[in-house]
Amino acid sequence: KAASDPVEKVTVAGKYCESGDLLASDVMLPEIETGDILAIPAAGAYCPSMASNYNLNPRPPMVLVSNGKSRLIRRRESYQDLMQCDVL
Instruction: Return the active site residues.
Output: 17
Find out whether 54 and 28 touch, Cβ atoms under 8 Å: no
What does the radius of gyration of the chain's CA atoms come to, in whole angstroms?
A: 16
> What's the rounded Cα separation, in Å, for the pair 59 and 9?
28
Contacts of 23 (CB under 8 A, 6+ apart): 12, 13, 14, 40, 43, 46
